[in-house]
Amino acid sequence: MLEFRNVTKRFETPGGQEVNVLQDVSFTIEDDEFCVVVGPSGCGKSTLLNLALGLIPASVGEVIHNGKTVNSIVSSDVGYITQDANLLPWSTVLENIMSPLEIRGVPKNERREKAMEWAVAVGLEKFVDFYPGQLSGGMQKRCSIARTMVYDPAMIYMDEPFGPLDAITRTILQETLLNLWQSKRKTILFITHDLVEAIALGDTVVVMHGQPGMVKTRIPIPLSRPREIRHLAASSEFVELHTKIWSYLEPAANQQEENELI
C-alpha cells in the first residue's frame, strides 16, 4: 500500500541554508497493516506523513502509494486525522460527519444514513445535533474519526491524534480505534511519540530518531488481537517490547538531554 524508498527531505532556511529533516528513510506498509511510527519530537515524523500525502515532495528518493509514485496530493481514497479535530464550528456533529459525502455528491438521504451509522459506531448517537463547541475534546476527536471513516478510505494517516487528551479519554479512544480497525481492516500509518500507544495499537513499530530523522529499526508486535489496551501494560510481553523499543531510543534521548544542558 505504501513504500518509502531511500527518502531524504531537505528544507531551506530563510538564510538560504539547506537542512536535512529526513535522511535515507526506507520502509514498506502492507495492505491492512497498522503501522506505527514512534520517535522523539523533531525527528521528522510529521514530515513523513506530509510526504506520504503528497503535500510536500521528497528531495531524494520516492514515496510510492498503491503502486504509483507520489508526485502531488494523493487521491481522495485516503483519510487524514490530525492532532486537532478540525471540525466545522457552524455545523452539527451529524453535518460534520456528512460533509465528506456531500463533497462527493452522495444523495442527502444516503449520506445522512451513513453518517448516523458512524455516529453510533463512535458513540455519538446522542450528540448528533450538538455543535463542536458543545463537545469535550474526546467527543470532538470521535467526530473527527467518524468523519474520516464515513467515506471508506483505503488508507488512513493519523498524526498524534490522541496526544492532547487525558489518559483515560486517550485509552478509551485507542480502544475505539482498534475496534473500528478490527472490523474494517484499513491500512493505517499512525504517528506518535508514546511508546505505550505504539505497542498497544500497532502490528509493527518503526522506530525513528535523530536530526535528520532516520529509521533505526522496525519491530513486529506479536501481541494477539483483539487487544484490551487497559490490561496490556501488565503483561510480560508488553514489558519486553517496551524495553526493546526504548533501548533504541534511549541513546538519542540522552544525547538530546546533554545538548539541551550545554
136 and 181 in a common domain: no
Contact 220, 232 (CB under 8 A): no
254 and 225 in a common domain: yes
Number of domains in the chain: 2
CATH number at residue 27: 3.40.50.300
pLDDT at site 70? 87
199 and 247 in a common domain: yes
- Mean pLDDT across the chain: 88
pLDDT digits (tens, 9 = 90+) for 12-60: 878 778 888 999 999 999 999 999 999 888 888 889 999 999 899 999 9
Taking 50 as the threshold, does the pLDDT of residue 181 lie above it? Answer: yes
Taking 50 as the threshold, does the pLDDT of residue 260 lie above it? Answer: no
Give the pLDDT band of residue 261 (cuts 50, 70, 90): very low
237 and 164 in a common domain: yes
Give the pLDDT band of residue 254 (cuts 50, 70, 90): low
Helix 137-149 / helix 93-103 crossing angle, nearest 10 deg: 20
**Residue range of the domain that includes 100:** 84-152
> Which of 152, 174, 209 finishes a domain?
152
Encode 144-161: b = buried (16+ Cβ within 10 Å), e = exposed: bbbbbbbbebebbbbbbb
Helix extents (H) in the chain: 45-53, 93-103, 108-121, 137-149, 167-184, 195-201, 229-232, 236-261
Tell me the range of 67-71, 99-103, 203-207 where mean pLDDT is highest: 203-207
pLDDT digits (tens, 9 = 90+) for 80-125: 998 888 999 999 999 999 999 998 899 999 999 999 999 999 999 9
210 and 159 in a common domain: yes
pLDDT at site 262? 45
211 and 238 in a common domain: yes
pTM given for the model: 0.89
CA dist 2 to 22, 66, 183, Å?
Answer: 17, 6, 21
pLDDT digits (tens, 9 = 90+) for 145-179: 999 999 989 899 999 988 778 888 888 889 888 98
